[in-house]
Amino acid sequence: MRSLWRNNFPSSISTPFRFRRIIEHMRSHTWPPENSHFADVCLEGPKQLAQYDAEIDRLQRKIDSLKEKRQHLGTYVDACRSLFSAIRRLPNELLEKIFRMCSPLSARKMSDTDSPMQEADRLAKRYLLEMTKAS
């Protein structure tokens, strides 16, 4: 049986001439000879298709592995970059003051002297509503 493919590319599929021959045979209602190229394709084609499928699966697994490695490297690069961020040069005491100034009042804990009503007012931020009223 002769080889159907050179360089792993199906030559039987890539030429318009082969397709024309198939159409001619179909229109003539004649059977091609048993030892024809078409019979070879029918026998060997599914095997070659399975080889392509196996190669596609192998390459897809390789792509998935490379994507995962790339993601891990990206995470590592981001972590390394964060070591050199400007905010890391600020003293912790200054950062603590900044965060306290920016934190919402609801983050502070209720003291023993606060009444439940005061706590409800604070959580509802009624003081903000009072400031927005027109006088």
Q: Taking all residues of the chain, what is their mean pLDDT, rounded to a whole number?
A: 77
In a domain, 73, yes or no: no
64-85 pLDDT, tens per residue?
Answer: 999 999 999 999 999 999 888 8
Task: Show the beta-strand stretches assigned E in 1-135.
Answer: 5-6, 9-10
In a domain, 116, yes or no: yes
Instruction: Look at residue 75 in the predicted model and tell me its pLDDT.
Output: 95
pLDDT tier at 61 (50, 70, 90 boundaries)?
very high
In a domain, 42, yes or no: yes
In a domain, 93, yes or no: no
Percent of the chain with pLDDT over 90: 26
Instruction: Look at residue 3 in the predicted model and tell me its pLDDT.
Output: 47
Structural domain that includes position 54: 5-63
In a domain, 83, yes or no: no
In a domain, 48, yes or no: yes
* Assigned token pair, 75: 């995470």
Partner residues linked to 6 by β-bridges:
9
In a domain, 95, yes or no: no
Give the burial string for 35-52 (b: 16+ CB within 10 Å, else e): eebbeebeebbeebeeee
In a domain, 33, yes or no: yes
Domains in the chain: how many in total?
A: 2
Taking residues 99-118, what's their average pLDDT?
Answer: 66
More confident residue, 42 or 133: 42
Taking residues 109-117, what's their average pLDDT?
Answer: 64
Q: What is the value of pTM for the model shown? A: 0.50
CA-wise closest residue to 87 among 100, 96, 77: 96
